Amino acid sequence: MPENKMYLPEGLRPRAPLTPALLRDAQDHNTILEAPVIRCDAERTLHVSLGPMEGLIPRTEAISPWIGGADRDIALLSLVGKPVCFAVSSLAADGKGAPRALLSRRAVQERAITQFMETLEPGTVLTCRVTHMESFGAFLDIGCGVVAMLPIERISVSRIPHPAARFRTGQKILAAVLSVDRENRRFTMTHRELLGTWMENASYFSPGETVQGIVRSIRDYGAFVELAPNLSGLADLKDDVAEGDRVSVYIRSIRPEHMKIKLQIIQRLTPAVYPVPLRYQITDGTLEHWVYSPPCYEKPPVATDFTALGL
């Protein structure tokens, strides 16, 4: 099981009816709970849906100050309509005698980041949730709203034009820690190693088959067609094919010693549906050394040494 099971990303924590008894028990035992934010008032207090009881997260308790953008209103406004995790600070009554719970998301984030800084190291596999995407990469919630960066070049071996070609916002994925910046309390993640080696991906295909693929790039000498997120082959150019097209391809040959797959494009198909399904070969534990290229590969191996990244 991934190593952040105690501090899951927001939106992935199992929910139970938040009764007054459960809230009192959570306060006594410092339990992490989760519920959706229903509004953010003019004072930037978050109002959380707790059923019969009102839940309030004051602005100062909504986001830890070390999180990038925590001082900006948009960081709070963007939480409306989304689940957030929290600890119960106090249970009391408002001015009209109605029950009310004061909550702290910040306290939970501080607990999570302290645990992460003490235990996570390069290669550690985590359950993550995609929060948003930019052209340079995807931002991942690695636990309790703690956000880490996944650079686009670390998403898959097959190159993509934008993270949206691989993920959707809110998607649950797995990723491994690439580096830890302890001074700034930041993590950088990697994803491609969990999708398997060249041989693991190539084992799903055989010469003589016709399969589906996505044209990822076109060069003067041919078109690179993605058969799986970590596997591409080279096909001869075809006039009516463009980057991003979904095509059917005939597999002419698979050559592990050259790490090459020779393809022939048969025809264009209906547009690709994103995101492409992911098939993880690694789902937990801590990676030390990952080699993408086959043992018989005639060139220096394509690999990631997580032990070196931890220095």
Task: State whether 60 and 93 are in the same domain.
Answer: yes
Q: Is 137 a domain residue?
A: yes
Are 151 and 295 found together in one domain?
yes
Last residue of a domain, one of 113, 128, 150: 113
- Verify that 183 and 225 share a domain, yes or no: no
C-alpha 74/C-alpha 194 separation (Å) is: 33
Residues 291, 184 share a domain: yes
pLDDT tens-digit profile of 245-266?
999 999 999 999 999 999 999 9
Domain boundary among 70, 94, 113: 113
Q: Is the peptide bond before 65 cis (omega within 30 degrees of 0)?
A: no
Count of helices and strands (H, E) across the chain: 5, 17
Residues 191 and 293 in one domain: yes
Task: Based on the fold, state whether residues 223 and 144 are members of the same structural domain.
Answer: no
Do 40 and 185 lie in one domain? The reply is no
Residue 189: inside a domain, yes or no?
A: yes
In a domain, 48, yes or no: yes
Q: Which of 71, 92, 113 is the last residue of a domain?
A: 113
Q: How many domains would you assign to the chain?
A: 3
One domain, residues 97 and 240: no
pLDDT digits (tens, 9 = 90+) for 33-60: 999 999 999 999 999 988 878 899 999 9
Domain of 177?
119-195+287-309
Residues 221, 152, single domain; the answer is no
Domain match, 180 and 239 both: no
* Same domain, yes or no: 177 and 166: yes
CATH number at residue 185: 2.40.50.140
187: pLDDT strictly greater than 90: yes
Contact between 103 and 87 (Cβ < 8 Å): yes
Tokens of 159: 């190159």
pLDDT confidence bin for 97, thresholds 50/70/90: low
Does 14 fall in a domain? no
Task: Please check whether residue 185 lies inside any domain of the structure.
Answer: yes
Is the pTM of the predicted complex or chain greater than 0.85?
Answer: yes
Residue 64 forms part of a structural domain: yes
With respect to residue 102, please indicate whether it lies within any of the assigned structural domains.
Answer: yes
d(CA 199, CA 202): 5
Count of positions (residues) in the chain: 311
Choice among 49-63, 114-128, 288-302 with the minimum mean pLDDT: 49-63
pLDDT band at 273 (very low <50, low <70, confident <90, very high): confident
> Looking at 48-57, 188-197, 216-225, 277-286, which range is the least confident one?
48-57
- Alpha-carbon distance of 19 to 17, in angstroms, equals 6
Query: Residues 262, 234: contact at Cβ < 8 Å?
Result: yes
Is position 213 within any domain? yes
250/294 same-domain check: no
